[in-house]
Structure 1
Amino acid sequence: MASKNGFPPIVGTYNGINYYIRKGKQCQRKAGGGFTSESIKNNPKMQGIRDRNKEMTLCSKFTKKFKDAMFPFFKEIEDGELHQRLMQLFMEIRTYDETLEGKRIAGRGLNCDMGRELLSEFRFTQGPNSWDIFGSGVAFDTNTGVLKASSFDPQRLKFPKGSTHFFINYGVLEYDLKNDSFRFIIAEETLVVAKEDEARELVLEVGEMPKKGSLIFGVVKVQFHQKSSDKFYKSFAKGAVGIGVV
């Protein structure tokens, strides 16, 4: 592309002037006004940017630890955007940490009601979440990890086409704020529920007591199946897997 006088456009910095192309036109401005790695690192006016970058890095590490802990439930989810969506979730949760900006972390944000509520409302998949599965009458004991759903009704759920049953797996997720670490305790038993089963109270528990002093969450996974000739076959339809946190 040539300029109006027939010469090729100038791109770069010469004698303190930045030359660049914008919308096909030759433009210029005084150098030194933009963001550079050096100014972001050292300029006192860029402290806010440095703080946000630091918190984003901490949040990325937190998200990875969360995903690694939840891998037994996440391994069958094919969602290339899950990591980014979790990052957005935990970046929002970290705003409830009352520490000074630059030191806020999602772990402390989870230590308040609003942070936990955001996690419980998060849609991990296109399938049902915890409230879809259990209904409103849910009681979760953070000391024992026992979850009771007084109004559990299989017929409340939307079954993917061809599905006749769903499997329920349950686990307790611990977060140790002091060590910034997760542990996921998974119940050995898988509960099989038929589409026509009647409403009842559902009690879920794991084989060991959660660690005292940790943040404790109940996690449920639903996987829809089709039963044929006394065998169960996983459904791969949209919404066939649901995960929820209580």
Structure 2
Amino acid sequence: MASGNGFPPIIGTYNGINYYIRNGKQCQRKAGGGFTSESIKNNPKMQGVRDSNQELALCSKFNKNFKDALFPFINDLEDGTLHSRLMKLFMHIKMLDEAPVGKRTVGNGLSCDMGQKLLREFRFTKGPGARDILGPFADLNVKTGILKAVAFDPKRLKFPKGSTHFYLQYGLLEYNLKGNTFRFILNTDALVVAKEDDAKELVLEVLEKPEKRSVVFGVVKVQFYQKLPDRFYKSFAKGAVGIGVV
């Protein structure tokens, strides 16, 4: 309730009433209605807040583990927005879990078809995604880890100015729901592709087979380069790096 009696403003708590200034006016309200660490921890009415905080903490841990697994592919992205964008993605995937609020996890959301679809559609960079890189017909064998793209065509990609080639890397990302752990199996041999290369069937594989009962994704990365007589020079142009999940 605002006061306009001309007396000096009162700020603080007296006899269970909070006195404060809002928009230049004296206001007051009953004390005890705000959020405090004590009330969030113990007040039964704050159970919803505790549940949300618990899910947020688990989502943040999931995000860290995911990025740690994909470190070989994302360590050089220098994108300050990636963490927050992944958090938004994983919070969305977490909501696909049909468990009660407070017990929902990203892992359970990722184990369903829609959760996997959302991860595959996520744009890691401003460069090409999985469909751009591999073409419209890519198939991952989750038992062997072999990825086939029957319509791979370098001419489909938009080469940054000055780029003549790109390096194509492939890895297999496994998620173990029971242990809530990731494993990334990387093929360390990059495929060098020239801008003028013809379309062909592309077969990518890793040295180890994925473990049974894991959720499996293929991950591809392209980095554009310019070839000069002495060597290849990495492009730092916009869209020079692309990552896609299959």
TM-score normalised according to structure 2 size: 0.94
Partner of 2:82: 82
Show CA shifts across 1:158-185 (max 9, x none).
Answer: 1111111110010001111111111110
User: For 1:190, what is the secondary structure of its paired residue?
Assistant: strand
- Give the drift of 1:141: 0.6
Q: How does 1:102-141 map to 2 (within 5 A)?
A: 102-141=102-141
Instruction: Report runs of 4+ in structure 1 exceeding 6 Å deviation.
Output: none
Q: Give the letter aligned to residue 35 of structure 1.
A: F
Letter paired with 2:229:
S
Which residue does 1:5 correspond to in 2? 6
Report the secondary structure of 2:155's partner residue. helix
Secondary structure of 1:120 counterpart: helix
Query: Could you tell me the percent identity over the aligned residues?
Result: 68
| Structure 2 CA distance for aligned equivalents of residues 172 and 10 of structure 1 | 64
Secondary structure, in 3 states, of the residue corresponding to 2:38? helix
Normalised to the residue count of structure 1, the TM-score between the two structures is: 0.94
- What is the DSSP-based 3-state SS (H/G/I as helix, E as strand, rest coil) of the residue aligned with 2:45? helix
1:230 is displaced (CA, Å) by 4.6
The CA distance in 2 between the partners of 1:224 and 1:67, in whole Å, is 22
Q: Counterpart of 1:201?
A: 201
Distance 1:161 1:12 in 2: 63
- SS of equivalent residue, structure 2 residue 208: coil
| Partner Cα separation in structure 2 for residue 127 and residue 45 of structure 1 | 47
1:164-179 map, 5 Å: 164-179=164-179
Shift of 1:40: 1.8
| Alpha-carbon distance in structure 1 between the residues aligned to 2:109 and 2:11 | 46
Please state whether the residue corresponding to 1:98 is helix, strand or coil.
coil
Partners of 2:92 and 2:138 lie apart in 1 by 25
| Deviation string, structure 1 residues 18-73 (Cα, Å, up to 9, x no partner) | 12222232221111222222222222222221111100000000000000111110
Q: 1:4-153, aligned counterparts within 5 Å?
A: 5=6, 7=8, 9-153=9-153
Q: Distance in 2 between matches of 1:169 and 1:10?
A: 66
User: Secondary structure of 2:223's partner?
Assistant: strand
Q: Displacement of 1:134 after TM fit?
A: 1.2
Number of residues of Structure 1 aligned to a counterpart in Structure 2: 243
Report the residue type matching 2:33 in the other structure. Answer: G
2:225 is aligned with 1:225: yes
Deviation of the 1:242 alpha carbon: 0.7
* 1:101 CA displacement: 1.5
- Structure 1 residue 12: Cα displacement: 2.3
| d(CA) in 2 for partners of 1:11, 1:170 | 62
**Aligned partner letter, 1:5:** G
Q: Distance in 2 between matches of 1:25 and 1:199?
A: 72
For 2:90 and 2:215, the matched residues in 1 are separated by 15
Instruction: Compute the displacement of 1:77 (Å).
Output: 0.6
SS in 1 for 2:192: strand
Counterpart of 2:95 in 1: which secondary structure?
helix
- Structure 2 Cα separation of the partners of residues 172 and 82 of structure 1: 20
C-alpha distance in structure 1 between counterparts of 2:205 and 2:230, whole Å? 27
Task: Name the CA distance, whole Å, in 1 between partners of 2:76 and 2:166.
Answer: 15
In angstroms, what is the RMSD of aligned CA positions? Answer: 1.4
Aligned amino acid, residue 138 of structure 1: A
Please say which of residues 41-50 and 220-229 is displaced more in the overlay.
41-50
